[in-house]
Structure 1
Amino acid sequence: MRLDKFIADGNSLRLIERTREYARHFFEREGTHGFSHVERVFNLCMHIGKEEGADLEVLALAALLHDVARPLESAGRVEDHALEGARIARQYLRSLGYGEDKIEAVAHAIEAHRFSRGPEPKTLEAKILSDADKLDAIGAIGVARVFMYSGEHGRDIEASLRHFEEKILRLKDLMYTETARRIAEERHAFTVQFIERIRREIEGEI
């Protein structure tokens, strides 16, 4: 995406691109929570943030850094990737001399991005990051990610469909912003259609 359509300031653009490369090195392989997920969440954040009037620099940094500790959690080296990711973000941004108020805004958004546990997002930027992270689990991308995860963990189709019903289909009602709610409605409808279709095919309907 053309980032300069969202952020005009050259210093901000350079900071964001530097942070993109910093974040990328935490991901040794792709998968359901690889760097491609980070890029999609980033893109959603920019579009939603522009619509909602967010601080796009803070939002961009939080989006790029929100899952840097996910590989550590997957490896069992940390318990909560959101809290560890916020710690890493603070350390990184302080090393660049970034403003302390903005560092805390970025860190809070990272700490609060998980819908399944606290803390509750308190700022607009934190709410948008949480929304974008959830949106990446709905729609065509969400369907692809569920089955990628199933392939990675040996889960069959029926178990995958239960995951849709227990988690994915509930995400539509957990959005904070109006823009995310609009996007979620469309993605949710696609997901429902997919589930209905695959169930008909499982039954052998023609």
Structure 2
Amino acid sequence: MLTELKEEERNVLEVLKLLARSVMPQKDITHGIEHVERVVRLCLYIGEKVEEEVDTFVLLASAYLHDISRVSDDENHEALASEISEDILRKFGIREEKIKKISHAIRAHSFSSGIEPGSIEAKILSDADKIDAIGAVGIARVFAYSGKHERSLNESFEHFSRKILKLKDKMYTKPGKEIAEERSKFVERFLEELDREIRL
């Protein structure tokens, strides 16, 4: 369950929201501001459903800042985003303990980072970020990325099998697993139809 936010925490989160909206790409549907805002909503949904106590400020600050370095397709964007986030949060006078929790959640959220989430907030962010890559939105994001990087239809198809359909097995929370399973079934149905049409 989510903890109640203090007034100063609400104020900082409002600034972080504005910062994300001003820095993140507006029309990049793969890793732009729309992705960040969906991840925030998923974090709130999962955070409300889990049995553990969730630090709402840590969770939402992590969600708003998790892709703050996504100005390019850097492989290690999560490491840079965590460093940038620490600098930003220190300017607000956030306690070092909370800064470290936020930094860890950001570092551990990426599919390819290999870092195991060590807190409930990090687990929720990891789930939310991956869930946004599954389902109808996930399909749209794959093809948007493919268009941008000149990936063929067959290469996109392979990407679903190689990565997207494996994400449901990378969930840490019960609500995350439920959402990921449902969305994965939709992707599987889509791929069956796509495969049928490609082979026709």
TM-score, normalisation: structure 2? 0.92
- Decide whether aligned partners of structure 1 residues 80 and 8 sit closer, same or farther in structure 2, where only a CA change above 3 A counts: closer
In structure 2, the residue matched to 1:46 is 44
Q: Distance in 2 between matches of 1:8 and 1:90?
A: 20
- Decide whether aligned partners of structure 1 residues 17 and 7 sit closer, same or farther in structure 2, where only a CA change above 3 A counts: farther
Q: Distance in 1 between matches of 2:147 and 2:199?
A: 22
Range with greater deviation from structure 2 (10-19 or 47-56): 10-19
In structure 1, the residue matched to 2:121 is 125
Report if aligned partners of 1:138, 1:187 keep a CA contact under 8 Å in 2. yes
User: Which string of whole-angstrom CA distances, capped at 9 and with x for unpartnered residues, describes residues 114-148 of structure 1?
Assistant: 12123211011011111111101100110010111
User: Which string of whole-angstrom CA distances, capped at 9 and with x for unpartnered residues, describes residues 10-38 of structure 1?
Assistant: 43322211111112222244221111111
Letter matched to residue 36 of structure 1: E
What are the residue-to-residue correspondences of 1:176-187 with 2, within 5 Å? 176-187=172-183
Q: Distance in 1 between matches of 2:88 and 2:63?
A: 14
Secondary structure of residue in 1 paired with 2:23: coil
Q: Residue 9 of structure 2: which of 8, 12, 20 is its match?
A: 12
In structure 1, the residue matched to 2:59 is 59
- Decide whether aligned partners of structure 1 residues 117 and 192 sit closer, same or farther in structure 2, where only a CA change above 3 A counts: same
Q: Residue 191 of structure 1: which of 173, 179, 187 is its match?
A: 187
> Is structure 2 residue 83 aligned with structure 1 residue 94?
no
Letter matched to residue 129 of structure 1: L
Range with greater deviation from structure 2 (30-39 or 5-14): 5-14
Q: Distance in 1 between matches of 2:66 and 2:188?
A: 28
Secondary structure of residue in 1 paired with 2:172: coil
> Is structure 2 residue 18 aligned with structure 1 residue 21?
yes
Q: Residue 156 of structure 1: which of 152, 160, 167 is its match?
A: 152
In structure 1, the residue matched to 2:70 is 70
TM-score, normalisation: structure 1? 0.89
Give 1:9 deviation, angstroms.
4.1
The CA RMSD measured in Å over matched residues stands at 1.7
Report if aligned partners of 2:5, 2:57 keep a CA contact under 8 Å in 1. no
Range with greater deviation from structure 2 (27-36 or 15-24): 27-36
Report if aligned partners of 1:7, 1:13 keep a CA contact under 8 Å in 2. no
Q: Distance in 1 between matches of 2:111 and 2:199?
A: 34
Secondary structure of residue in 1 paired with 2:31: coil
Percent identity of equivalent pairs: 46
Unmatched segments (≥5 aa) in structure 1:
none
Report if aligned partners of 2:12, 2:92 keep a CA contact under 8 Å in 1. no
Q: Distance in 2 between matches of 1:201 and 1:50?
A: 41
